[in-house]
Every structure is written in structure tokens, then in C-alpha cells.
Amino acid sequence: MLQANDIHFCIRNMPIVDKANVSLAPGELTVILGPNGAGKSTLFKVLAGEIPCKYGKVDYNGSPINGFSAKNLALVRAVMPQHSSLSFPFKAMEVVELGLLSGGDSYRQDLLEEVMSETQTWHLKDQLYGNLSGGEKQRVQLARVLTQIWDKKPYPRYLLLDEPTSSMDIALQHHVLRIIHKIKKRNIGVLAILHDLNLAANYADKVILLKKGRILHQGPVKEVMCASNLEEVFEHPIQVFSGSEDSPMIIQSIPFIQNHLEIKLA
Amino acid sequence: MGLALAMMSLLSLSLGAFQIPLYNVLGILLDSIGLELTEFSQQQSNVLLHIRLPRILMAILVGGGLGITGAALQGLFRNPLVEPGLIGVSSGGALFAVIFIVFGSTLPFLSYFGGIGLPLFAFLGGLINTLLVYKMGSWAGKTDISLLILAGVALNALSGALIGLVIFYADDAALRNFTFWSLGDVGGANWSKVGVSFLLISGPVLLVMSQFKNLNALSIGENEAFHMGVDVQKVKYILLFSSALIVGTAVSFTGTIGFVGLIVPHLIRMMFGADHRLVLPGSFLFGATLLTFADLLGRTIVMPSEMPIGIITAIIGAPFFIWLIINVKKIRS
């Protein structure tokens, strides 16, 4: 279990994250949703151990995060930040290979080929990372963090993803969420920040709605993602068509300029 | 790469104001390990073993050291324009070396260290400047390259001024010592200097090479490296400390030799890619080859006089630096 209690993070006395409680169970996908500047990335960085939190505590599998060395932490969780730029001309394959660092393996062709085929990056392996498109770069980075936790382990692990699909086309977005769906069966809990409400609604197990640093609602998708909650968080009219066994849940934000809306306003 | 270095060394052993044919070079070298194959004169043997060989070994140690330090610092600061001279490591080493040379005879405690005192003192200066530049150049745990280079410029200026001040107070004998040192050359090498350099340079070089995986991880970013299990702070201090020791030692024996640390890692990356597994040892070997070559040029083009090696590397290096700046601009636009 990844457990965070009373996370509080201030910059110049302005709370960015305010008394947040988050728990992530292995085998579960939890999605953080919220408008820009809600504190999603800050909360994410505190959970990842990237910024130390002065108030509140973060536990991985029952042990406080402060007690982990960088190396041991890397064995229980992998992190994909929003943007990564490379300072030198590495090939895509060399970037993915870095994921093996924490495990102490220097090179494993079979594992790399498996992960890169899964993320549809195997054909890019000999290309320079800097020459790839935005979506391809994201897939390579995803392959890198998946490599870090690919081998099965007896203890629960966690995968933290900050907007992993932001530069991808529709098909690839769904492809990535399918990979996440598969990987969580390896006793891995996945926490992702997403902007697409429909992806969240149809793939997540739990949802956290964040606004101005506070968690307003969290829980199972069906309970939390109702129109009133979403409108409260995003301050925009939203319609929710709750799906059924054989049809997906659809969430629609309502455009300002549309005939029926103008008629309604008039 | 190793072969190129071996050939360059042999060539360099053979050529010079006093020519020794290649087969005699091999003969003398083999003779010194107990194999008598060819005839050679005692004079040839003396020139080779007591003048030329230590000099070339010094060029190899210093050139290799500067090359690998450049590669390590570029990797650490995630920027291909970083170089030991640019960020003040060399000038800090030079300042402390000058202090040691000028005041070495008047301050008795300095003489306790013997032959190792000068390089250790230069190391201290290099380390102080490196840490200062690093502190000034980083902000909220991240290194900002423009701050870093500005800090380097400031510390270079300050070190230069302080060197001037020290020289102002130097007496005649100290001044002569300083002049000899500042001509900056591998020409003054003898076996004891080579021994001390080997002692102080080989350790940190191996230490830097062992960090290749961590340097690869750092290329994606400090946070990313941390997420992958790298103890970023520890790696930083290992690399900064090793770099200061290598450059400090090099500066104390041969003066400041510029641009080797800048050019060498670049050319290696162009040839073999960015993986530090190859970049680090490659930069050592190529840096050693380049400096041996520069020394050979310096000894031969104005025979029987010698041109300081720093001039040669700057003549090759400065245009390369300009080319690099223009290319960086092209890539960004």
C-alpha cells in the first residue's frame, strides 16, 4: 500500500497541497483529476519522494519514505515525469535501457525487446531520442519506467505517471491505458495524472478530484465522477452519461457557443 | 583508440630535436625490461628514458585526465559546453599553485608535504572553486547552466586578479619559479613528477569511469536519475572531487592547458554515441593522444626551441569552440 497522510505543502505560506490523504493499493489504477494549478503535480512529486514534505507522511508498504535510500525506493516505485529532455544524443534503446539501472542488470535484450514491443517503440530503438516526435518520446519514457518494474517481485510496487498520454493520438492513449491495465495485475499500483475525463472514467478504479490544493472528492469512479462533482471542480458545465456493461461511460463538457445553449440562456 | 595512442606515443618518442629511429626506440624500451634485441647508443637511451619518456607519460596522464574530466563535468552539468577551464576549476588550481610556488619558501609549514604539496594545494584550490561555482550555479537543487557559466567567469576573473596580486608580492627567486611554471609545459617532466601525477590522477580517473551508469541516468535529468535509484548528491560530490583532484594535479605540473576537456568528449560522442560507458574511457585515450600530439608539434615545429603546449591546444581548440557555438545556435533555431 502507498499511503500518504496529511500532506501539506506551502510555497511562501500559500498552500499548494492542503491536508491531502491518499492511499493507493497494488493492483489498482487511481487517477488524479483537477484544473490547472490545482496542485496535482506537487502532490505527485511529494508521493514520488522528489520533494520532501515537511508536514504529513508518505509510507511505501508500511515504511516511511524518508527511510528509503534512492536505490531501495527505485525498487518499489517507478516515476514518469511530465517532460524529460536529454542533454546528449542517446538512442531510444539506450534511454529504455536506463530502466535496468536499479535492478543492477547491465543489459537484457529479452526484457528490453518485450517492453519496447509492448509500448510500440521497438522499431525506434536505433533512432536518436532527440529526433523523435512528442508522442514517440513519451512512449520511450514509458518504456523506460516500465523496464524498471517489469520483472515480477514478491512485494507490491507502484508506478507514478504524470500526464503520460498528453502528446499522444487517440489510439495510442487507449493503447497506453491498456498497458497500464495489464501491468497492475503484477501486484503494481498505478497512480496517474490525466486530463482526459473519459480515459479516467473508463480505465480508473478510483479517482481523486483536486481543486486549489484540496481533495474535494475521492473514491470509486461511479461514485465520484458525477456531473455535480465534476462541475464543482472544473467550474464548467459537464454532462455525464453513465455507461453500462457493454457501453462506455461518456463525459461531455458543454461548449459555450452552441445553439441549444444559447437558446437556453436566452 | 588505444592503438592510436600507442602509435602516437612511439612516434613522439622517436621524433624531436634529437632523432631516435623507431626501431631503436623499441630496442631501448625492450632493453629496459630485459630483452636485448638491437644496438643503440647510450646517448639515445639517456634521452629516451630520462627526458622523452617521462615527458610523454606526463602528456598522457594530463591529456587523458583533462579529457575524462571534461566528459564527466559535461555529463554532470548536462551541458556540452562545460569545460574545466570555463567553470573555474583550472584557475582555482592555478591560483593555489601560484601561492604555493611564491610563498612555498617563506611559509615553512608548506614544505612538510614535499613533492606532493604543490599538486595537493592546487587540488584544494580547484576544489574550492568547483564547489563555489556549483553552489552559485544551482538553484533549488537544479543546475542552471547560464548561472553556472557566469559564476565560472566571475571566479576566473577573481582568481586571475589574485594571481596577479600574489605575483606583485613575489620576490625575484619566486618570480622566476613562477615564470617557469606558467610557461606551462610537459617539458619539465621527470620521473618523480610522473610518479606523483600517476598516484594522484589514476585513482580519480578510475573512480570517474566507474560512474558511467549514473552519468547516463543523469543525462535524462537529476529527478529522473533519482527516480531510477541514483544517489544524485553522492554522485555529484564524487565527480566534483575527482575532477578537482585530476585538474589540480595537471595544473600544478603543466600549467593551465585549455580546450582539451572541451573538444575531446565532443569528438568521442560524434564517433561512438553518448553512452558514458564508451565516452569516459574514450575521452581519456583521445585526450592523451591529442596532448601527446600537441606536445610533439610543440617540440618539433620551432626546433630546436619549443612552443608551449597550451598555445597549441588553444590554436586547435578555440576555433573548435567557435564552431560549436555556431552549431548550437543552428540546432536551437
Mean pLDDT rounded to a whole number for chain B: 83
Residue A147 belongs to a domain: no
Residue B140 reports pLDDT greater than 60: yes
Q: Is residue A37 part of a domain?
A: yes
Q: Are strands A238-241 and A214-220 parallel, antiparallel or unpaired?
A: unpaired
Q: Is residue A73 part of a domain?
A: yes
User: How is domain B2-332 classified at the CATH fold level?
Assistant: ABC transporter involved in vitamin B12 uptake, BtuC (1.10.3470)
pLDDT band, residue A263 (cuts 50/70/90): low
Q: Per-residue pLDDT averaged across A179-200, rounded?
A: 94
Decide: B74 and B143 in contact? Cβ < 8 Å: no
Q: Which of A68, A72, A98, A162 would best serve as a mutation to test chain B binding (most B beta carbons within 10 A)? A: A98
State whether residue A79 sits within 8 Å of chain B by CB.
Answer: yes
Q: Does the CB of A87 have a partner CB in chain B at under 8 Å? A: yes
Strands annotated E in chain A = 2-11, 14-24, 29-33, 55-60, 63-64, 77-80, 157-162, 188-193, 206-211, 214-220, 238-241, 250-253
Average pLDDT over residues B212-240: 92
For residue A71, being part of any structural domain is answered with yes
Task: Output the pLDDT for position B114.
Answer: 64
pLDDT at B183: 61
pLDDT over 90 (residue B121): no
The contacts of residue B13 (CB under 8 Å, 6+ apart) are: B20, B25, B48, B52, B53, B56
Amino acid at A257: I
> Per-residue pLDDT tens for A5-29?
988 888 878 888 888 899 999 999 9
Q: How far is A74 from chain B (nearest CA, A)?
A: 5
User: For chain B, what percent of residues have pLDDT higher than 90?
Assistant: 26
Pairwise pLDDT comparison (A102 vs B325), residue with the higher score: A102
> For residue B258, what pLDDT band results from cuts at 50, 70 and 90?
confident
Element spanning A199, H or E: helix A197-203
- Highest mean pLDDT out of A57-66, B28-37, B165-174: A57-66
pLDDT tens figures, B97-114? 888 888 776 666 666 666
- Rounded to an integer, the average pLDDT of B47-74 is 90
CA distance B231 to B179: 44
pLDDT at B101: 80
Report chain B residues whose CB lies below 8 A from the CB of A50.
Answer: 223, 226-227
% of chain A exceeding 70 in pLDDT: 96
On whether any CB of chain B is under 8 Å from the CB of A84, the answer is yes
- Pick the range with the lowest mean pLDDT from A42-46, B5-9, B15-19: B15-19
Residue A103 covered by a domain: no
Tell me the domain boundaries of chain B: 2-332
Is residue B288 over pLDDT 70?
Answer: yes
pLDDT digits (tens, 9 = 90+) for B230-240: 999 899 989 98
Does some domain include residue A237? yes
Indicate if the pLDDT at residue B333 is higher than 50: no
CATH of residue A160: 3.40.50.300
Count of domains forming chain A:
1
Nearest CA in chain B to A107: B213
From B274's Cα to the closest Cα of chain A, the distance in A is: 5
In a domain, A96, yes or no: no
Q: How confident is the model at residue A260 (pLDDT cuts 50, 70, 90)?
A: low
Banded pLDDT at A266 (limits 50, 70, 90): low
Please provide the DSSP assignment of B168-195 as one string. Answer: HT--HHHHHHHHHHHT--STT--HHHHH
Q: How confident is the model at residue B33 (pLDDT cuts 50, 70, 90)?
A: confident
Q: State residue A262's pLDDT score.
A: 59
In this prediction, residue B311 has a pLDDT band, given cuts at 50, 70 and 90, of confident
| Separation between Cα atoms, residue B236 and residue B256, nearest integer Å | 24
pLDDT tens-place string over residues B175-200: 777 776 766 677 777 888 888 889 99
* DSSP letter assigned to residue A254: P
Q: Which pLDDT band holds residue A243 (cuts at 50, 70, 90)? A: confident
Closest chain A C-alpha to B322 CA, distance in angstroms: 19
Query: Does some domain include residue A108?
Result: no
Where is average pLDDT lowest: A228-242, B6-20, B51-65? B6-20
